[in-house]
Structure 1
Amino acid sequence: MSLAAQIETTINNLEAGETFSYGDLGIAVSSYATAAKALERLKNKGKIKRLSKGIFYKPEQSVFGELQPSDQEVMKSYLFQNGKRKAYITGAYLYNQMRLTRQVANTWKIATFNARIFVNQQRIKAKPVKAYASVTEENYRLLGFLDALKDWNTIPDLDTTSGIQILIFWLKEFTPEQIEEIKRYALQYPPRVRAFLAALFEELKMTGTVELRQSLNPLSSYGIRLKPGDLSTAKNWNMI
């Protein structure tokens, strides 16, 4: 089978509205130049459309005409490479999903460990931020949780009392293995995140606070936006 035929078969197997990049075609990087010509021919035939540089989608038709890919489908092409997650959405969009804020982000934030991803689509604008570890499908939710601790003071429209209960809910949802991982990832975050996590651990009577305490300067204090009674263990970790 020729490369062009292979690419067309792969695209025919995609769902309508699904996005893809060169890395999703199952071809060698050395074949990308040839693939570009095949994709251009398919685009001219109307079988695919270009979303942005190197990213395409299979058009979806409805009784009202052609539908654009969903926001989630558009973002998939930026968050995954060769079928593996390389980035995740953080910031206000994530905190809205976590129910920490009701505000909707105008500009999304994409966290990656060693790359910078910008998105400038009609409906979606996104800018890069730092991920504190290499991103995988298994750990991106843990990193997002730690991001919420890091950004706690700047989350818009945050009710700290209900916010603490939301954090506690998520910690209870994590498996023991994930709790061990989140503790390990926390060591890569700023000290205030480690103190915040330790206070939550202590509130839930979880193990792992010894390692977190050893990583902190006992003379340091951490300004964390809380109301009296939000987190009874906060004072044990110099959270003011």
Structure 2
Amino acid sequence: MSDAEKLKTFMYQNGKRKGYITGMGLYNRLGLTTQIPKTITIASDKSPQRKDFGTVEVKLVKAKVPVSESNREYLEILDVLSNIKKIPDSNPSEVMKVIAKKTKKYQKDGLYELINLASFYSPVTRALLGLLIENININLALELKNS
């Protein structure tokens, strides 16, 4: 079984997405860091645990909300914002530029979903999201401020 197949067993259950890669693996995939992790962190509804498969180590963390295919990308953005100061080889302003490019492509419904999911994250994360959304739609930013 390949490493990718091993990871999929933690991210899918009966063909439905139940988890996503977060942490250093996510930051690397988005081009926010050049570091390649040996341990892949997966957020899911499974209990926190570590699994070592020799070639790859998996760390399961509890997702803040149930994960689905439709909310995975939004949760990834919120995870990046919540850990913006902890991303190696990057600075927060560069990270914000990368995330701003991603959020600008969302339609209004996607932005609403992002705002709804942000309610499960810290006030700092919601404030950073507010900064991003303010550039796209001032009314949505006001809704986030009032959450």
Pairing partner for 2:12 from 76, 80, 93: 80
1:80-111 deviation line (CA, Å, top 9, x unaligned): 11111111110010011111111111211110
The 5-angstrom pairing of residues 1-240 of structure 1 reads 69-113=1-45, 115-215=47-147
TM-score normalised by length of structure 1: 0.57
AA partner of residue 135 (structure 2): E
Using the TM superposition, give the Cα deviation of residue 183 of structure 1 relative to its aligned residue in structure 2, in angstroms: 0.5
Q: Offset of 1:117 from its aligned partner?
A: 4.9
Tell me the amino acid that sits aligned with residue 99 of structure 1.
G
SS at match of 1:208: helix
**Alpha-carbon distance, 1:114 to partner:** 5.2
How many residues end up aligned between the 2 structures?
147
The structure having more radius of gyration, on CA atoms, is: 1
1:143, 1:78 → 2: CA distance? 17
Q: Which has the higher helix share?
A: 2
Q: Percent identity?
A: 34
Bigger mean CA deviation after superposition, 167-176 or 190-199: 167-176
What CA RMSD, in Å, does the superposition of the two structures yield over aligned residues? Answer: 1.6
**SS across alignment from 2:43:** strand
Residue 213 of structure 1, CA deviation: 1.2
> AA paired with 1:210?
L
Whether contact under 8 Å (1:78, 1:117) holds in the other structure is no
Shift of 1:129: 1.8
What is the CA distance between 1:115 and its match in structure 2?
Answer: 3.1
Deviation at 1:77, TM superposition (A): 1.2
Equivalents in 2 of 1:207, 1:72: separation in Å? Answer: 41
* Residues 110-138 of structure 1: CA deviation (Å, up to 9, x unaligned): 10135335321011111122311100111
Task: Give the letter aligned to residue 118 of structure 1.
Answer: R
SS at match of 1:88: strand
Gaps of 5+ in 1: 1-68, 216-240
Q: Give the ranges of 4+ consecutive aligned residues of structure 1 lying more than 2 Å apart after TM superposition.
A: 113-119, 159-162, 173-176, 203-207
2:85 and 2:92 in contact (8 A); partners too: no
Tell which has more relative contact order, 1 or 2 (C-alpha 8 A, sep 6+).
Answer: 2
TM-score, normalised by the number of residues in structure 2: 0.91
* Separation in structure 1 between the aligned mates of residue 79 and residue 50 of structure 2, nearest angstrom: 19
